Amino acid sequence: MTQEIGKRPNIYDVASAAGVSKSLVSLVLRGAPGVSPARRAAVEEAIERLNYRPSRAAATLAGNRSRTIGVVLDDYRNLWFVDLLAGLHDRLAPLGFRVAVADPSFNAHLDRTPVDGLLSMRVDGVVIATEPTEEMFAAVDVPAVVAGNRDMVVPGADIVANDDVMGGRLATEHLIGLGHREIGHVTGAGGAARLRAQGFDAVMRGGGLRPQVAQGQGLTMESDGYEAALRLLEENPSLTAIFAANDTMALGAAGAARDRGRRIPEDLSLIGYDNSPLASANLLRLTTIDGRNRQVGDGAAEALLERMKDPATPVHTKLVEPELVLRASTAAPA
């Protein structure tokens, strides 16, 4: 907190301080090639000395683009987005793009939807990592991709997601492979959960087994997992395994198991989905499905870049193969 003296330096100030032209400063800022090392150093020294920070507002306005990709998140408490962001960032940062995050609960009333806020800042592309709504994309005129499987289809937007049906199958096959026959599934609201349940259902029926499914009151939170698992355990005390639609719900299911005196994995096997930080906690050591969200992020960035290059690129869906992550919450039935 220094430099309160006078107004902010601009590109002219830097240029004259470095003894070069304003255009050269602009080139250095954008990391353009073909600038002599000596002059580049001079410019960088001046920037440092003046504490110059380029105005993104001016750059965006003049260039008619922000070199920023906006991401709409749904809920900070469900940590699946962390790897998604990392994947986006890793792919985009080297190309000079920033990632800006918007979440639904915030900035409402100023903008009708989080997408409006992003559009107002003239993002060059949008990643929708939540269930989209009609009004959200009504005015989207930049490349958009939906990350994750959703109920609604956004016209013109690519979809990049992990293969939730396959993930559901993997989880269920793992349990059956261990010898389980009485298997319950704790599901939730939303497209991804529906597909995971679909994978579960298919494998169970394919194996001649009865798919037992329960859903909580809310969405896909811990309390929903708790509730649903409690119901499952009550309806069928001979249940030996539960597949939860995500790790958070699995945490809820683990609570239900504990409350019903079932040890994991001795009395009940439990498998989650997402491979979130929660799954690796020592208290759970949760076997789970890794949706490889980093790859999803990478794929979303890729799709955006392609469509920025050629807006006429046909819309496509890219599915990332999920994989089973073995930990200690699943075992053969007693």
Among residues 6, 31, 34, 208, which is the contact residue for DNA, using CB under 7 A? 34
26 binds a second copy (CB under 8 A): no
The conformation of residue 78, written as its DSSP 8-state character, comes to S
Residue carrying structure tokens 């809820």: 252
- Please, what is the minimum distance in Å from the beta carbon of residue 181 to a second copy? 26
12 binds DNA (CB under 7 A): yes
59 binds DNA (CB under 7 A): yes
Encoded tokens for 294: 């980093």
For residue 223, the partner it binds in a second copy, DNA, none, with Cβ less than 5 to 8 A by kind, is a second copy
Among residues 45, 51, 61, 328, which is the contact residue for DNA, using CB under 7 A? 61
41 binds DNA (CB under 7 A): no
Does residue 203 contact residue 172 with C-beta atoms inside 8 Å?
A: yes
Encoded tokens for 135: 């009004």
- Please, what is the minimum distance in Å from the beta carbon of residue 177 to a second copy? 26
The whole-angstrom separation of Cα 91 and Cα 88 is 5
The whole-angstrom separation of Cα 68 and Cα 118 is 9
Encoded tokens for 86: 């990392």
217 binds DNA (CB under 7 A): no
Kindly give the residue spans of alpha helices, DSSP state H, lying in the chain: 11-18, 22-29, 37-50, 56-63, 81-92, 114-120, 164-177, 191-206, 222-235, 247-259, 293-309
Q: Which residues contact 310 (CB under 8 A, 6 or more apart)?
A: none
- Reference 52, options 20, 29, 19; nearest CA is 29
* Nearer to DNA among residue 64 and residue 282 (C-beta): 64
For residue 277, the partner it binds in DNA, a second copy, none, with Cβ less than 5 to 8 A by kind, is a second copy
Among residues 21, 105, 217, 317, which is the contact residue for DNA, using CB under 7 A? 21
* Nearer to DNA among residue 65 and residue 285 (C-beta): 65
**Which H or E run includes 92?**
helix 81-92
Distance from CA of residue 143 to its chain's centroid?
A: 17
Does residue 204 contact residue 172 with C-beta atoms inside 8 Å?
A: yes
Among residues 259, 266, 317, 321, which is the contact residue for a second copy, using CB under 8 A? 259
Encoded tokens for 146: 């939906």
Question: Candidates 19-27, 97-105, 133-141, 198-206 — which segment interacts with DNA by CB under 7 A?
Answer: 19-27
For residue 312, the partner it binds in a second copy, DNA, none, with Cβ less than 5 to 8 A by kind, is none
Does residue 331 contact residue 178 with C-beta atoms inside 8 Å?
A: yes
Q: Which residues contact 238 (CB under 8 A, 6 or more apart)?
A: 182
- Please, what is the minimum distance in Å from the beta carbon of residue 115 to DNA? 17
- Please, what is the minimum distance in Å from the beta carbon of residue 144 to DNA? 20
51 binds DNA (CB under 7 A): no
311 CB-contact burial (10 Å; exposed 0-12 / middle 13-18 / buried 19+): exposed
Point out which residues bind a second copy (CB under 8 A): 1-4, 8, 51, 53-58, 60-61, 66, 76-77, 79, 81-82, 85-86, 89, 93, 96, 98-101, 105-110, 116-117, 119-122, 137-141, 144, 154-157, 222-223, 226, 251-252, 254-256, 258-259, 277, 280-284, 311
The binding site for DNA (CB under 7 A) comprises 7-8, 10-12, 20-24, 26, 29-30, 34-36, 38-39, 52, 54-55, 58-59, 61-65
